[in-house]
């Protein structure tokens, strides 16, 4: 598409149409890059949250396999992971990759309201009534899991969870 015409100084150049096409393509790419970055940021935050939640859930499972019971800090029902961090982090320290003692846990979105719920009766089902911190309307139906972890933002909205909607 390079113009073969020479200008007044004997140099070849681009036509106005060619320049407009290139500018249009660059504008489109810039729009995709900036508009799509929010989606990528959300995906990365959700992935980071899933990684943290799965690490804690796996540590709970390993603890249970070795000791025959769940860590004591989690046996009373839904647990606020940051409020009870000292209780559970020592019990799970040997099973965790991350150092969580003396540190505030945050999900990938920066939320500190993280909660853990166990299958307390051993039937692999976590019932809706066990999700005490969730507002009505966002509480899931029964979940097929041994451990469920989720986070809420400051407004009480569910931001990340360890289960899928198909569970």
Tens of pLDDT, residue by residue over 31-72, are 766 666 677 788 889 999 999 999 999 999 999 999 999 999
Q: How far is CA 136 from CA 77, 79, 133, in A?
A: 18, 18, 9
DSSP 8-state assignment for residue 66:
H
The 10s digit of each residue's pLDDT in 102-152 is: 678 999 999 999 999 998 888 989 988 888 888 767 888 889 999 999 999
Strand extents, DSSP E, 22-165:
79-80, 113-118, 125-126, 143-144, 147-152, 158-161
- Name the 3-class secondary structure at 143: strand
Task: Domain ranges for the chain, please list them.
Answer: 47-161
Q: How many CB atoms lie within 10 A of CB 50?
A: 16
The reported pTM is 0.74
Q: Given this model, what pLDDT does residue 48 score?
A: 92
């Amino acid at each position: 598409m390079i113009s073969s015409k020479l200008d007044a100084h004997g140099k070849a150049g681009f036509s106005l149409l060619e320049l407009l096409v290139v500018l249009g393509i660059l504008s489109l790419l810039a729009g995709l890059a900036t508009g799509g970055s929010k989606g990528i940021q959300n995906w990365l935050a959700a992935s980071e949250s899933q990684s943290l939640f799965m690490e804690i859930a796996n540590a709970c499972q390993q603890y249970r396999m070795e000791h025959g019971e769940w860590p004591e800090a989690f046996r009373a029902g839904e647990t606020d992971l940051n409020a009870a961090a000292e209780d559970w982090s020592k019990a799970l320290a040997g099973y965790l990759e991350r150092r969580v003692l003396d540190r505030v846990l945050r999900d990938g979105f920066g939320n500190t309201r993280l909660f853990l719920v166990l299958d307390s009766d051993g039937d692999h089902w976590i019932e809706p009534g066990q999700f005490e911190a969730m507002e009505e309307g966002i509480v899931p139906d029964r979940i097929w899991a041994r451990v469920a972890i989720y986070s809420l933002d400051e407004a009480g909205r569910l931001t990340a969870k360890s289960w899928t909607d198909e569970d």
